[in-house]
A = this chain, B = another copy of it.
Amino acid sequence: MLGLIATMRIQDGKTAEFERVFLDLAAKVRANEPGNLTYQLTRSRAEPNTYKVLEIYSDEAAFKAHGASDHFKAAGPALGSVLAGRPDLEILDGIVGA
């Protein structure tokens, strides 16, 4: 199991557009990626232009399939147009029960 915290900073005035694009992507992730267990968009309370996506994948292969998916690639340009810099991706190893 693999966890990911994706931190994205959005340009001023573009948060509504970002949320629209991202929620559309999230729906496609949930519909098309059985190896994705969690894909939740959240917004920082400290920095309203900063969003964090809490992501959990069943394994490394599921994570790679996500990045290679058509729906993820298709969302790239629209996301790129509202981001204020590169996303920060923190990959974490999931700890599961015995």
Contact = CB atoms under 8 A, between A and B. Distances in A.
B3 A93 contact: no
- Number of copies of this kind of chain in the complex: 2
Given A40-B3, A56-B40, A92 B26 contact: no
B95 A54 contact: no
Given A19-B95, A95-B19, A5 B52 contact: yes
A92 B19 contact: no
A62 interface: no
Which of A23, A40, A93, A98 has most chain B Cβ within 10 Å?
A40
Interface residues of A, number: 28
Interface string A1-41: 10101000000000000010011001100000000001011
Interface of A: 1, 3, 5, 19, 22-23, 26-27, 38, 40-45, 51-52, 54, 56, 90-98
Across the A-B interface, the 8 shortest Cβ-Cβ residue pairs: A42-B92, A3-B42, A41-B95, A23-B97, A43-B93, A54-B54, A38-B38, A42-B94
